[in-house]
Structure 1
Amino acid sequence: MGATAGNAELIILVTALGYAVYLLKRRRAFTLPGGIVLSILLGSLAVTLLLEDVAVLKTETGPMTLGYAGLLFFALAFGETAGITAGIGLGAGEYLLRGDPNWAAASLIASMAAGGLAGFIGRGGEEFSTALLGAVLGGSVYVIFMYTYLRIVTGVGYSDALSMLAPVVSSVTTAVILGVGLLLTVRKWEKWPGPLEGS
């Protein structure tokens, strides 16, 4: 049984509200001042959603976007909380971009998991190898989850699933390069804030 458009919107809204309540309850765990934390979280949500819906290249098998680059950058730069928030922005952006409620709901879950994992690994160290590992594993989680969704939930065949995921894989690969490259650039700035959570 597939989700309807109303159900997908409800899933995205309930997820965003539930996560906002969770963030309010654990606000004392953040190492940065509240105003900076709020700015980073709202920025990660808005920028990722905007990149997902504006920076789009249409292909025969689906859209290639820069939304994944926003997701990985915010996750690596600010930790898992910002990564999960950016994942909500990516899921909402997928709904606006594709209009497919089932894909949007699956993408929301996949992008939150990818952002959380990339952020958790990325905040573990300042080294290039740590950031790259976080980006690659986070991107892989997204692709594997969406492949599983296509094969098991929708029943799409092997070759069709690979074809449908080709632009996603291209987008994620580009995101790994851009996200890590941008992260290494901004970390050189003297007043760049670190992760929201402690190491």
Structure 2
Amino acid sequence: MNGPSMTAPALLDLLKGGTLTGEWVLDPRNSSIRLKSKSMGVIPVKGIFREVSGSGTVSPDGKATGTLLVAAASIDTQNTKRDTHLRSADFFDSDNHPDISFTADDIRPSAQGVAVTGALTIRGRTQPLSFDARASVPGDGEVWLDAEVRVHRADFGITWNVLGMVSQISTLTVHAVFTRG
């Protein structure tokens, strides 16, 4: 999944030089958002969200912004009973809050690749979120962003935890492939 990461100066040249200027659309077939959380202290629960969409814009001055949308009900851990519980009001409450969204207000080159700053909304609660990502431009008309993001569930009202056996920290692994819009 990972292409060659770009150095900050190389990415800055592409942003400022106009090579990446324009509208970008998330390619859902080649993108993935995975969830991992520990349960019962040591056993990780792993899943993938099957429905993702998004878009981004790079302005002529090199400013990059974008949005990712995830259908909360599309979680797939390969366990039907667990998936039903994750969709319930105990977790994502997907009937009342069908989308998980991340809006990136600023994406800029950094020593690690790119620094992403924005807001994550889960269950109708929005929290600021910043993280580092790797950026790749594997070919003309395609940009990849790869990141691991740690999220504290309670920040979004997800506090269900029978006997304290579910970790409050979840890790989202994002592989976002954008193509020219």
TM-score interval for Structure 1 and Structure 2 normalised by the shorter chain: 0.3 to 0.5
- Structure number with higher helix proportion: 1
Quick check: which one's strand share is greater? 2
- Normalised to the residue count of structure 2, the TM-score between the two structures is 0.38
Give the TM-score normalised by the residue count of structure 1: 0.36
